Amino acid sequence: MESTECHRRHTSALALAAADSLGVLHQEPFLPASECERLVDAVERHAQQCGGWPLLGDYEGATSRHVQLEHVPSLHPWLQRHVVGAIVPRLARLFSLDGGALLRPHCRVVKYEADVARPAHTIALHSDGTPFSFILSLNHAFAGGGTYVRCLDRAFSPPVGSALLFCGRWLHCGLPVRSGVRYVLAGFVEIDGVPADLEEALCRVRRLEERLSVVPRLCADGEGLRRRIDGGGTPCALCGTVGRAGRTCHSCAKCGFVACTRCLYARAGPAACEGGEGSWPWRGALPLLVEVERCEWSLSATTIELRPEEKGRAALTRHGVPVSGAAQGEEGQDGRGERHALFVDDLTVPDGASVRPGQVFTKVWLLSQGVEVGAMHWPEEAVDESQLVRDDVDAETFENARWVGHRVLPGAVCLVGRERRGRGEQECGDAGDEDDSNNDTPRHLVEVKVELVAPEQPGRYRVYFRLVHRNSLDGFGDRLWADFVVVSLKQEFSD
């Protein structure tokens, strides 16, 4: 997957409008490997003197071990030099903070071990208690591991001596270590007297993260839904629909839980939080590890800008280019709100799915109107006024795209949820939606479908579409695509 596409897919709605100045993740080398080794040796010695590494106590579901460096007096000069003297000033510059207001960070070395009787190999999805955090890699003798950042849906494993610097309110986790031992230096940076604009930005991160709560994405056994499925014959455990793409628990052999993508997204939201106001619904929950391994883009730049700064308002971006109009409900020229359509997921035919030569199949995308990132609901007439058109403009895709036939189906653009109810119109979805009418299903999801005809010639094909305003033909929202592989029966048997 090339980098811009991957970027768009994996920087979900949350990341695209990530909060204000906090929408930056930065990776930078700070220490030579020899200093990292010295630190690990010193901490190991300390742990041995104290009877071993204590289990992390402050995150539910955490099963890693750590040593708090404030408790190791011999390391205080080291912390002063490398953390207070180098990492903290960098954080201040990166986030335009008053360096003098940043407090001495709490630091700990976390140890993830794959091969111990009581597994100590992961930290569950969480946010740190402080506004800013850094995680510095101290070694590389392990497999698996890394820091997963949910709003990017991406795992990072910086080289030894390099650190990730980011807003600590972002949900992140320490991924399971499969073999060996992983050490990181984690730092938590408080600010003395949080300025009002920072406070507001921090709240915004939290609200955005809450809207993407992972709670409904857990199976009955509380396991994270990790493995992607292409539907097949398995009914969704939540709505009963057969054949939709979705996710299954990583230990599905045990619990058999499968949920379709639409349910997973439609039921996400603060309403699912049982902890109520002030508690973090994902505490203790295992993360939704969505195809992290498929995300191949390399960190060519050291900083990922989640959102180019636009003074005073959140800006949605597409391929790094700000989308015209505002995300926060600014009126368009026609007096109506700007319409957004953010890609959420493929409901059918995920990228790379196999189809037969000549097969007619329906591709369905799930989109969001962007209200979770501050955009307005679509105006009433938007569904009827939206049209799906082919958009195969890229030279490299045109050659294969031209062989793919398509037919826009009646009701190609369709709201998910309750909007159409009460206006005598057929609602999108199935019997499972009836249940939704009584709960807090977000009313901002849209399904878009198109019928495709696979070419006769085996190979990989990709066709692009986008939504346009029916009258003006002005495009809006994310570019959509269907990406599939035509496999002949002969080929399949010979594989």
Ligand X SMILES: O=C(O)CCC(=O)C(=O)O
List the one residue out of 139, 106, 143, 118 whose CA is nearest residue 64: 118
Sign of torsion, CA 37 38 40 45? positive
Q: How far is 263 from 461, CA to CA, in rounded Å? A: 28
In single-letter form, the type of residue at position 483 comes to D
State the minimum distance, in angstroms, from the CB of residue 373 to Fe ion. 23
184 binds, among ligand X, Fe ion, none (CB under 5 to 8 A by kind): ligand X
Closest residue to bound Fe ion by CB: 128
Q: 113, 128, 209, 433: which one contacts Fe ion (CB under 5 A)?
A: 128
Alpha helices by DSSP H, 220-343: 252-255, 261-266
* DSSP conformation letters of 138-174: ----EEE--EEEGGGTEEE-PPTTEEEEEETTS-EEE
Q: Which of the listed partners (Fe ion, ligand X, none) does 110 bind, with a CB threshold of 5 to 8 Å by partner kind?
A: ligand X
Among 445, 369, 463, CA closest to 408: 463
CB 305 within 8 Å of CB 23: yes
Spatial separation of the C-alpha atoms in residues 161 and 59, rounded to whole Å? 25
**One of 27, 139, 147, 213 touching ligand X (CB under 6 A):** 147
Residues 175-214: x/- map of binding to ligand X (CB under 6 A)?
Answer: ---------x-x----------------------------
Residues 216-255 that bind ligand X (CB under 6 A): none
Among 19, 43, 67, 110, binds ligand X (CB under 6 A): 110
Residue 370 interacting with ligand X (CB under 6 A)? no
Shorter beta-carbon distance to Fe ion: residue 237 or 286: 286
Query: Which segment (126-134, 390-398, 403-411, 451-459) binds Fe ion by CB under 5 A?
Result: 126-134
* Residue 12 lies near ligand X (rule: CB under 6 A): no
Indicate the residue among 46 and 121 with the shorter CB distance to ligand X.
121
Residue 291 CA: distances (Å) to CA of 155, 295, 350? 10, 7, 12
Q: Among residues 127 and 213, whose Cβ is nearest to ligand X?
A: 127
Q: Which one of ligand X, Fe ion, none interacts with residue 174, CB within 5 to 8 A by kind? A: ligand X
443 near 419, Cβ under 8 Å?
yes
- Tell me the per-residue interface mask from 84 to 123 with Fe ion, x by CB under 5 A, - otherwise: ----------------------------------------
Contact partner at residue 135 from ligand X, Fe ion, none, CB < 5 to 8 Å by partner kind: ligand X
Binding partner selected for residue 147 from Fe ion, ligand X, none, CB under the kind-specific 5 to 8 Å limit = ligand X
**What is the enclosing helix (H) or strand (E) of 452?**
strand 445-453
Interface positions, 111-140, toward ligand X (CB under 6 A) = 123, 128, 135
Q: Report 247-306 residues binding Fe ion (CB under 5 A).
A: none
- E-state strands within 20-160: 24-29, 65-68, 106-113, 123-126, 132-137, 142-144, 147-149, 154-156
Q: Is 359 exposed, middle or buried (0-12, 13-18, 19+ CB in 10 A)?
A: middle
386 binds, among Fe ion, ligand X, none (CB under 5 to 8 A by kind): none
On whether the CB atoms of residues 16 and 307 are closer than 8 A, the answer is yes
Q: Which is nearer to Fe ion, 289 or 412 (CB)?
A: 289
For the chain, helix, strand, coil in percent to 5 are 25, 30, 45
323 binds, among Fe ion, ligand X, none (CB under 5 to 8 A by kind): none
Strand pairing partners for 137? 184
Q: How far is the CB of 144 from ligand X (least distance, A)?
A: 11
Q: Return the C-alpha torsion angle 394, 399, 401, 404, nearest 10.
A: 160
Residue 446 CA to residue 342 CA, distance in Å, equals 9
Q: What are the structure tokens assigned to 44, written together?
A: 């190991």
- Closer residue to ligand X in complex, CB, 165/186: 186
**10, 82, 121, 172: which one binds ligand X (CB under 6 A):** 172
339 binds, among Fe ion, ligand X, none (CB under 5 to 8 A by kind): none
- The CB-of-302 to ligand X minimum distance in angstroms stands at 18
- Minimum Å distance from CB 174 to ligand X? 3
Q: CB-based burial of residue 424 (10 Å sphere; 0-12 exposed, 13-18 middle, 19+ buried)?
A: exposed
174 binds ligand X (CB under 6 A): yes
Site of interaction with ligand X (CB under 6 A): 110, 123, 128, 135, 147, 172, 174, 184, 186
Site of interaction with Fe ion (CB under 5 A): 128
